[in-house]
Structure 1
Amino acid sequence: MKTGGRRHDAIAREPHALPSPPRTTRHARGPARGTTMKAVLFANTDWYLYNFRRSLAMSLRQQGYDVLLISPPGPYGGKLRALGLRWEPLPMARRSLNPLREAALLWHLVRLLQRERPMLVHGFTIKCAVYGSLAARLAGVPARVNAVAGMGYVFTSPHVKARLLRPLVRGLLRLALGGSGARLILQNADDVALFRQAGLVDPQHIRLIRGSGVNCAQFAAGTHTKAPGDGRMRVLLASRLLWDKGLAEFVTAIRQLRLQGCAVHALLAGTPDPGNPAAVPEATIREWVAEGLVTWLGHVDDMAGLLGSVDVVVLPSHREGLPRTLVEAAACGLPLVTTDVPGCREVVTDGIDGLLVPKGDGEALAQAIRRLHEDPGLAQRLGEAARLKARSQFDERIVIQRTLGVYAELCDPLAVPAGSSL
């Protein structure tokens, strides 16, 4: 798979109602000769760093950056180190609201940044954006980049706890995201409009980069692994097992298809996320398995292999930044069914490269799956169009190049003295 210069230029100029970053060439290739730029990548899980930002870290290192990855401890830290990357664990609990614990985390980050003296801190998710940016300000780090996939639980949940936290988090976000040395990366146009409306950041400092990038060539290579099955169409939902990923609607759709005599084999890949208030209890998942509705695969490392073994991928999510699962499936040339919500409709245009259904509508989801089951020609056309879109818009090389462009706006090593505060 190649993304030629002409095609990439067209993508880079895609209108998205945002100010264009200054044109640059030297910084997009890495630090200036004779300088070493240090960047810290901060996420709320080591799993996220390994699966979503490993290629960015490797690219930065190849271009001469000194890269440090930080996250709470976990099994993927060792995998990052095995790749030759620096990774350090943090004393961070994702769901903690204990003021003493949170103050200790912030102080730990400040001391770490004072020790490392990076030029830039890049935080992922809202909590990392807030803590990473506040610590960077206190430690005198010149540049702050934050990539946020949506407004997060505090802003989207109707629960009382979320509503009570909203004013505090709003104030912290304004402080964290503000300043001329900060940029905010969002993944879809709906979130751009939402952040603008909320007044959380200067619109001139928002950049739209669609997703974290996928190695499309790797996933395309997995499309010929399908083994002979039992004749049923294999339908996969792969995600964190959260209610707001549409698991209830998926199960409703499978029940309805079974009652209609539609031969489908429903696969569910992923694990419950106890750090998220919307986590589906494992007991509930096991009830679905016992009922014969789904085959639960648990955590899957080889997503390319799994996608190469199925016929359709669905994601009936309630809202996304930009869903990587759909992009990976698109790169495999699979037909997609997802909801007409922010993030998902960035990947799928209804009837062109997939099918869109209303949020929360299990019956509509069943109808869309049945449509693909009964019309293999349509499924093939949608899959082929999805593959072309993934290659031209969501390949990791495009995302990494645009991310480096954001770094270049902030980190001119000849113009910004190390340790200065912006």
Structure 2
Amino acid sequence: MKIVLFANTDWYLYNFRRSLALALHKAGHELLLLSPPGPYGEKLRALGLRWEPVPMERRSLNPLRELALLRYLTRLLKRERPALVHGFTIKCAVYGSLAARLAGVPARVNAVAGMGYVFTSNDLKARALRPVVRALLRLALDGEGARLILQNSDDVALFERAGLVDPGRIRLVRGSGVDCWRFVKRTGERSGGPLRVLVAARLLWDKGLEEYVAAARELLAEGRRIEFLLAGTPDPGNPAAVPEDTVRGWVNEGVVNWLGHVEDMPTLLGAVDVVALPSYREGLPKTLIEAAACAQPLITTDVPGCREVVTDDVDGLLVPVRDGKALAHAIRRLHDDPALARRLGEAAWAKAHAEFDERIVIRRTVDVYRELCGPLEMPAEQVARERRVA
């Protein structure tokens, strides 16, 4: 069976959907991966996967350019004649599904990780675009041959309330999955050095970076021995991007240590003491699951997506959104109580393996494909590993 995976960046395909693509490829299915051009496309090709760049600009609002993109995708799908198109993020869901319908593709699956800039921002442009995007989503997600995969229960309720899709076509699959066994479980006592706190995320304001810096300032002013780490790079294609000059200003102030892009996340996550993500909203944050697979104590906000991973005072700490003081208090608790940090980390490790391992997510995603396309074979060893995890 030929399957198209379409995302708004090659980075997303490589970091979040590589395992799904490789599992399908190994099972003998024909894969075509689509995204705007980028350096990760060649990495996907090096894995034996077929990847093609498409002329898509994430921030474009030019009607002529957008119509040209839709025409390009429609022609491509007519030429390729896939059985199923799977789009990721709202823009790819809309364009991929519309092109698939025009090209006569029988099955359309869309995975929306959170509501995106148009629905989470209150700026004028986002508010103006919201009715248009709602209408396009209804058109794209409609039809018997369509399924919508959402990553958390809050988004399921939101889509149902908004009437964007028939509730019978929604499927809940928690996240894109993590290969939990790549991450080494941290054991033993923390070293005698400063507490190392990490936020690993795209450098966007809505990841809570302003609150993280405010918490760092407060705790450092108390004279606490804490090192605040920030891993990630600017995302100029996103309207919520934090300017690089602002990040460098935080570094020069001595508030954070900016690590930039980190390729080896298992090593980094195993070398810190606390992982935080004070985000305003998520689909289901992969970084928190990776940190949980290292048995790290987690701090995140009580918002959709994040609270799917963390239950307060059970496997992490939840804080109110946009509240730097509450974030500082949570970090202070873990700094003062190593036993609490260990207990939360152990519970997070158990939850990550039981609920978020990538084999579980791949199996459930393939089950959605089977609803639309019928029997779809997967490697016997993949199925066996899924059973051991599940």
**TM superposition score category, shorter chain reference:** over 0.9
Corresponding position of 1:142:
106
Show the 5 A alignment for 1:9-408: 37-220=1-184, 223=186, 231-408=193-370
* CA distance 1:64–1:246, change in 2 (3 Å): same
Deviations 1:202-236 (CA, angstroms, capped at 9, x unpaired): 00000000000000000136x48x9x977101000
Shift of 1:135: 0.2
Shift of 1:412: 2.1
Pairwise CA distance, 1:259: 1.2
Structure 1 CA distance, aligned partners of 2:120 and 2:195?
A: 35
Find the counterpart in structure 1 of residue 381 from structure 2.
Answer: none
Deviations along 1:74-101, one digit per CA (max 9) or x if unpaired, are 0000000000000000001000011111
Please report how far the alpha carbon of residue 288 of structure 1 lies from its aligned counterpart in structure 2 after TM superposition.
Answer: 0.4
SS in 2 for 1:69: strand
The residue identity in structure 1 corresponding to 2:172 is L
**Equivalent-residue separation in structure 1 for 2:335 and 2:358 (angstroms):** 31
C-alpha RMSD of the superposition = 1.5
Aligned residue for 1:277, secondary structure, equals coil
Aligned equivalents of 2:69, 2:169: Cα separation in 1: 27
Percent identity over paired residues: 74
Question: Which residue pairs with 1:9 in the alignment?
Answer: none
Aligned residues: 376
In the alignment, the residues of structure 2 paired with residue 230 and residue 296 of structure 1 have an alpha-carbon distance, to the nearest angstrom, of 22
For 1:62 and 1:183, the matched residues in 2 are separated by: 24
Note the C-alpha offset of 1:63: 1.3
TM-score by length of 2: 0.94
The whole-number CA distance in structure 2 between the counterparts of 1:413 and 1:352 is 40
Which string of whole-angstrom CA distances, capped at 9 and with x for unpartnered residues, describes residues 368-418 of structure 1? Answer: 10110111111011001000000000000000000000000000279xxxx
Shift of 1:353: 0.3
Cα drift, residue 340 of structure 1: 0.5
The amino acid of 1:140's aligned partner reads G
SS at match of 1:220: coil
> Unaligned stretches of 5+ in structure 1?
1-36, 415-422
Which residue number corresponds to residue 30 of structure 1? none
Q: Aligned equivalents of 2:209 and 2:77: distance in 1?
A: 40
| CA displacement 1:108-132 (0-9 Å, x = unmatched) | 1011111110000000000000000
